Amino acid sequence: MLLFIENLHIHFSTFEGTAKVLNGVSLSIRDGERVGLVGETGCGKSITLKALLRILPTPPGRIVQGRILFKERDLLQMSYRELHAVRGCDIALVPQEPVGSLNPVFTIEEQMVDLILWQGRVNVNWGTYVATPLMGRAGRKVARAKALDHLVKVNIPDPERVLRSYPVELSGGMCQRVLIAMALASHPSLLIADEPGTALDVTTQAQILRLLKERVREEGLAILYVTHNLGVAREMSERIYVMYAGEIAETAPTNQLFSSPKHPYTQGLIASIPKLTGSELEGIPGRIPDYVSPPQGCRFQPRCEWAVPACATVQPRLRPVAAGHEVACHLHDPAFFQG
């Protein structure tokens, strides 16, 4: 197992009280597996990613419980030294927002070269840093050549110009490509993509998706692709986790999820994918519950048309219904009905 998130609970202290956002999320990714994480906005997708990259702001956030094993080692327990050897090097992130994720006052070259040269260290030695351009001109030159190479690999037509540019001089799509190049620069074994391109227009977004898919396939790396669009997740992944209000509702191999969705929420999501045949768009009425005082039992209960009385009091657990297919819903728990 490459990544194994086990029973992750994350709370936020807010003005209204403790927001119990993540409520026991478990998720696993095998080597080279393409996994999708789907859920509507605010369900806690980014929080999960931030926790595993250890960039969750704490406070206000707090990891209450859980383990995040990456190659058998708990990321949450790692020292900074160990963490820096993993973060960016073995796990890399393609962020959601392209322009804001690049430093506005440095050129792309500066940012990429520094990353290529110094990635993996907790701190740089200033002596070495200052000396790099002086004595080891070669050091920066080689890194620059590498950066150029990475830009070429993400189909940037004019990599020399892009290297010399500041983020404001580039389009959103171009920034997104640069970010993908940066993430892939270290040849990670897991790529995490947080809805890359949601801020871009549809055509560019499609290009970015195609590029990402191609790069992932070529490098043979595992990807955790996060999106609120089930259709996009279907494109990108071989297995999908459906998340609702800080819990995993259902997980299955992509084909199986679409052919026999079990959880009422998944069924609703699939029904609301816009179809080319022109059928009417069916949304799920209602919205994500308040995290400060979430529903006692199943968090989906207030919106569920199948809810039985017990749904309001007992939290359903993820349980297997078929090989590799797990659902957290009382309707699919025979034991629950037997008493």
Partner 1 sequence: MRYRDYLARRLLTIIPAFIGLSILIFVIARVIPGDAARLALGPEATKDQVEQLRHEMGLDLPLHIQYIRYVEEVFHGKLGRSLYTHRDVAEDLAAYLPATLELTTVAMLLAVLVGVPLGVITAMRKDKWEDHGGRLYALSGVSIPRFWIGILLQLILAYRLGWLPTTGRFDGNLPPPAQITGFYLVDSLVSANWTALGITVRYLILPSFVLALSPIAQIMRVVRACMIEQVRKGYVLNAMANGMPQNLLVYKYMLKNAFIATLTIIGLLYGFFLAGAFVVESVFSWPGMARYGVRALIYKDFNAVVGVTLAVGLAYAIINFVIDVLYGYLDPRIRLGYKER
Ligand X SMILES: Nc1ncnc2c1ncn2[C@@H]1O[C@H](COP(=O)(O)OP(=O)(O)OP(=O)(O)O)[C@@H](O)[C@H]1O
| Interacting residue ranges for partner 1, rule: CB under 8 A | 50, 53, 55, 57, 80, 84, 87-89, 92-93, 95, 97, 100-107, 111, 114-115, 118-124, 126, 129, 166, 168-169, 179, 182-183, 186
Residue 330 near which of Mg ion, partner 1, ligand SF4, none (CB within 5-8 Å, type-dependent): ligand SF4
Q: What residue ranges bind Mg ion (CB under 5 A)?
A: 46
For the CB of residue 127, give the shortest distance to partner 1 in the complex, in Å.
Answer: 12
Which of these segments, 13-21, 71-79, 82-90, 326-334, binds ligand X (CB under 6 A)?
13-21
Name which of 100, 69, 103 is nearest 86 in CA terms: 69
For the CB of residue 183, give the shortest distance to partner 1 in the complex, in Å.
Answer: 7
Nearest CB to ligand SF4, comparing residues 254 and 301: 301
Which of these segments, 41-49, 160-168, 199-207, 326-334, binds ligand X (CB under 6 A)?
41-49
d(CA 139, CA 151): 19
Contact residue for ligand SF4 among 8, 143, 304, 321 (CB under 6 A)? 304
Nearest CB to ligand X, comparing residues 93 and 321: 93
Contact residue for ligand X among 1, 16, 60, 123 (CB under 6 A)? 60
For the CB of residue 237, give the shortest distance to ligand X in the complex, in Å.
Answer: 17
Q: Which of residues 262-291 bind ligand SF4 (CB under 6 A)?
A: 263-264
Nearest CB to Mg ion, comparing residues 226 and 321: 226
Cα 122 to Cα 28, 87, 214: the distances in Å are: 27, 10, 32
Contact residue for ligand SF4 among 20, 239, 262, 330 (CB under 6 A)? 330
In SS3 terms, the chain reads as CCEEEEEEEEEEEECCEEEEEEEEEEEEECCCCEEEEECCCCCCHHHHHHHHHCCCCCCCEEEEEEEEEECCEEHHHCCHHHHHHHECCCEEEECCCCHHHCCCCCCHHHHHHHHHHHCCCCCCCHHHHHHHHHCCHHHHHHHHHHHHHHHHHCCCCCHHHHHHCCHHHCCHHHHHHHHHHHHHCCCCCEEEEECCCCCCCHHHHHHHHHHHHHHHHHHCCEEEEEECCHHHHHHHCCEEEEEECCEEEEEEEHHHHHHCCCCHHHHHHHHCCCCCCCCCCCCCCCCCCCCCCCCCCCCCHHHCCCCCHHHHCCCCCCEEEECCEEECCHHHCHHHHHC
> Per CB under 6 A, does 66 bind ligand SF4?
no
For the CB of residue 231, give the shortest distance to Mg ion in the complex, in Å.
Answer: 18
Contact residue for ligand SF4 among 300, 321, 325, 326 (CB under 6 A)? 300
Q: Which of residues 307-326 bind ligand SF4 (CB under 6 A)?
A: 307, 311, 316
Nearest CB to ligand X, comparing residues 45 and 150: 45
Q: Which of residues 245-264 bind ligand SF4 (CB under 6 A)?
A: 263-264
Nearest CB to Mg ion, comparing residues 40 and 109: 40
Give the tokens for residue 45.
Answer: 């997708």
Nearest CB to ligand SF4, comparing residues 233 and 298: 298
Q: Residues 13-38, buried b or exposed e (16+ Cβ, 10 A)?
A: eeeeeebbbbbbbbbbbeebbbbbbb
Residue 106 near which of ligand SF4, Mg ion, partner 1, none (CB within 5-8 Å, type-dependent): partner 1
Q: Which residue has the tokens 């194994």?
A: 4
Which residues of the shown chain bind ligand SF4 in the complex (CB under 6 A)? Answer: 263-264, 298, 300-301, 304, 306-307, 311, 316, 329-331
